[in-house]
Every structure is written in structure tokens, then in C-alpha cells.
Amino acid sequence: MIALILKRLLGMIPVMFIIIALTFGLMRLAPGGPFDRERKLPPAIEKNIQAKYNRDQPVWRQFWLYLKGVSILDLGPSLRYRNRTVDEIILQTLPVSVTVGGIAFCLASMNGIALGSFAAARRNSAIDHLSMTVALVAICMPVFVLAPICLLIFGLKLGWVPIAGWDSWRNVILPAVLLSLPYMAYVARLMRNSLIEVLQHDFIRTALAKGVSRRQAVIHHAFKLAMLPVISFMGPMAAEVLTGSIVVEKIFNLPGMGPFFVSAVFDRDDTLVTGITIVFSVMLLFFNLVVDVVYHYLDPRIRVHA
């Protein structure tokens, strides 16, 4: 087990190198630079700025300097927020995203699993149809439509939650719930399909024949196995949700990391783009590893093969 984890961790290094090289390269290929503005700068001033950020050097050397920084967790200065480093921006914004995302993750997985299980256990019943309709609506209804509607009702009309900002725990509720909805729906549908499939297996029929109640059969025998596809979805979902949603954080004006995924690219803030790409990739690789470890415990078949 430990050997497997170590092997996977070592395997991340070349993957990360390729990700960094690609991001770095693509940002340099994009037309327009971080210091371009409506006002064209006199050439001398432009030269001063390029020199300050080492951008007057050959690209391979800039890349080398950047890699050297990354190896000691120094992601360089932001090119737009000129007195902040990328490290500082990530450290300030990631906790906000992790808070909102963490709650959303729990809501999505717990509600999704519960909803999906009920639906599967009472297949074709009213509960099934109702929960699958809810799931379909949650998938189809984009957050940028739902969020302003919820803000209007719960924020402006009823005054239950603040409109925007990051002042108290009340700021977290609406964004976390909204963020969780589409993920919850996916989890519910996955869980339902998977549980229905597992319930048709021979070992469940055997259990039922031996006199185990249907309820017991679902909880003790089918549930664990049915979780497998859900778990593999939860890995990437965790990485996505925890690094911050672009739309939700923008609409609720949360000081999280999400909006930077887009704004940093538009600003051509190369170091910030690469920095948050690194954070996202590390999270993604990490949670995929977690998924593999959890798989090991849930599915005896995998354990045997390993």
C-alpha cells in the first residue's frame, strides 16, 4: 500500500513538469502581454518593466528561473497585483474557496448519495421519479441563473442572507448550497444507476433468498459496491469544488481563488495562471490518489489483483 502511494507520488513529478511547461508555453504564445494597456508606454518605460520581471531574457532562461522558484514553492510575483506574490494570493484566497467548496462537497456527496440510494431502492416509485426530476433540474439549471434568483429572494426580499462579501458564516450558506446542486445531481444519478445494477447481482439474490430483508441487503451488501463509480467521480469533483467556482465566487463576490482562473488569463498574468494551474493539478492528482486508496478498501477484487 505504502509502496503504491510512493510510486504514485513519484509519478506526479513528470506530470507536473509537463503541466507547468505547457501552461508556461501557452501563456507566452497568447497575443498581448501583461503590461499592455490602452495607453501605449514609451519604449524606455516598457523596457524598464520587462527588465524588472526578467522578461527581457530568453524564454528558456525565464522558464528555468521559474522552475527553480517552483521547486522551493516560490511561484513568483503576480504581474497584475504588483505588490503581491502568487504564493500570497493563493494563501489568501484558497482557504475561502476550500471553505465554501468543502461544505458544498459534503452537501453534494451526502445528499446525492442519499437521493440516489432512495431512488434505486424504490425504483420506479414516486420517490424515484421525484428525486430524478430534482436531479435533472439541478443539472440543467445553470448557477448563473439560479444564483441571482436566490439572491433576489433570500437576499433582497427576505433579507435572510447577505448579498455578497465575506463577513460571517451567513455568507457561506447560499454559495455552498448553489455550488453543491449540480454535483449533487450527478452523484445522485450515478448512485442510482450503480445501485440498481448491483442489486441485480447474484450475491444479492442469494442474500435475499437466505432471508435477509431488502433493506438489509441494500445497506450491508449492495451499498459498498455501488459506491465505486461515485467515489471515482468524487476525486475530480473534490479538486474542482475546492479550488473555487468561477461563477459562484464572482456572483457572490467571495474573495476566493475561482475568479482568477479566468481573470488571470485575460490579464495575461502568466505567473498567476501557472500558479493556480499548479494548485489545481496538485489537488486533482492528490484526490485521484485518494480515490485509488479508498477503492482498495471498498473493493476486495482490486485488493487481490494489486
Positions 209 through 268 that interact with another protein (CB under 8 A): 231, 234, 238, 242, 250-256, 259, 266-268
Closest to another protein by CB, 7 or 37: 37
Q: How far apart are CA 299 and CA 278, in angstroms?
A: 31
In the region spanning residues 58 to 97, those forming contacts with another protein, defined by CB under 8 A, are 77, 80-84, 89, 92-93, 95-96
Closest to another protein by CB, 128 or 287: 287
Q: Is 57 in the site for another protein (CB under 8 A)?
A: no
End-to-end Cα separation, the chain, in angstroms = 9
Give the cell for residue 254.
Answer: 467571495
Closest to another protein by CB, 38 or 202: 38
Q: Is 289 in the site for another protein (CB under 8 A)?
A: no
Are 175 and 103 in contact by the 8 Å Cβ rule? The answer is no
Give the cell for residue 138.
Answer: 439541478
Closest to another protein by CB, 93 or 131: 93
Give the cell for residue 278.
Answer: 499548479
Closest to another protein by CB, 93 or 281: 93
Closest CA to 256 of 284, 286, 276: 276
Closest approach of another protein to the CB of residue 50, in Å: 8
Give the cell for residue 253.
Answer: 463576490
Q: How far apart are CA 56 and CA 46, in angstroms?
A: 10
Closest approach of another protein to the CB of residue 21, in Å: 22
Closest approach of another protein to the CB of residue 211, in Å: 28
| The binder of another protein chosen from 76, 162, 175, 275 (CB under 8 A) | 162
In the region spanning residues 32 to 51, those forming contacts with another protein, defined by CB under 8 A, are 32-33, 35-45, 47-49, 51
Closest to another protein by CB, 84 or 201: 84
Closest approach of another protein to the CB of residue 205, in Å: 27
Helices (H), 122-255: 126-140, 143-150, 170-199, 202-209, 214-216, 223-242, 246-251
What single-letter DSSP state applies at residue 218?
I
Angle at 170 (CA atoms; ends 153, 147), nearest 5 degrees: 40
Closest approach of another protein to the CB of residue 213, in Å: 23
**CA 190, chain centre distance (Å):** 18
